[in-house]
Structures are given as structure tokens and as C-alpha cells.
Amino acid sequence: MAEFLTPEQLQEFREVFNSLDSDGDEKIDSTELTMVLKCFGMNPTDAEIQDIINEVDLDGNGTLDFEEFAQLMCKKMADTDVDEELKNAFDLIDLNGNGRISAPELKRLFDSAGDKVTDEEVEEMIREADLDGDGLIDIDEFKRVTYCE
């Protein structure tokens, strides 16, 4: 997950995390999360807070460490209306409209932007994003790479 975040995003997430971690224990618990949400005018129930924590609490300890918090932030970023913008960007790259981005389509994107990339570099980008091994990038793979899903 963190490998898909820019250093600036990681720094922003760290600053937010540190401000939420009122007791400085490097964990955000339900009380700290509740206080923050109330500052934003929300009045979440205990169950809603627990649902938020459970969504990304990988170690099951009932709190969020920084890695889990960053994952939550990534999910929330991906859940916004950015999905529509992302789909539009995907469609612009997917020149033949088959729902998959091929290496030649990706290469044309870089060429049209004036970026010099080799065929080998493009193939490596495809391999890194291609979870199902079909040699193409579908919309879900595109989202994962773009918004750290």
C-alpha cells in the first residue's frame, strides 16, 4: 500500500496521524477517533467507530497504527468521486475501448506527454500493475496502482 503513496502523501498522513494520536502511543484508539470526528461535527455511534477501525485493523488489536491508518486514508481517497475521474482517465488511455490498457496504449500516453520511456520500461510498468497476469491493466488494477487500493 505505502509503495503507491508519494512522499508528500505519506508526510501528510503522518501529520494527521500524529495530531489524532493525542496520547502519543503511536496508535489511534476509538476514543481518539471519536474526538476527531466530533470536531468535524459528526456524532458517530460506538458501533460506527468500531466499524471504521475494523475496516483496516490488520493485527486485530482494536487500534490503528500508522500503516493501518494510511491504508484507511487510501481507502477513503478511493471511495470519493475520484473514481469517476479515474474511470475517465482510464478510458482516455484505453484507446480501443476494450476495458484494458495494453503496453502500446501506455507507451502512446507517455509519448504524447513528451516522456521518453523505453518499451522495456513500459512492459515493467504493466507487469507491476498486472495482478491477473494477462499482460494488460484493467480498471481495478489501474485503481490499485493509482490510489493504493
Listed in sequence order, the DSSP H helices in 57-117 are 66-79, 82-93, 103-112
This model's pTM is above 0.75? no
**CB of 90 closer than 8 Å to CB of 144:** no
- Segment 37-91, tens digit of pLDDT: 776 667 889 999 999 888 889 899 999 999 998 888 777 666 655 677 788 888 9
- Segment 88-120, tens digit of pLDDT: 888 989 999 999 999 999 998 888 878 889 999
Domains of the chain: 2-79 (1.10.238.10), 82-147 (1.10.238.10)
Per-residue model confidence (pLDDT) at position 1: 52
* Cα three-residue angle 40-65-49, rounded to 5 degrees: 40
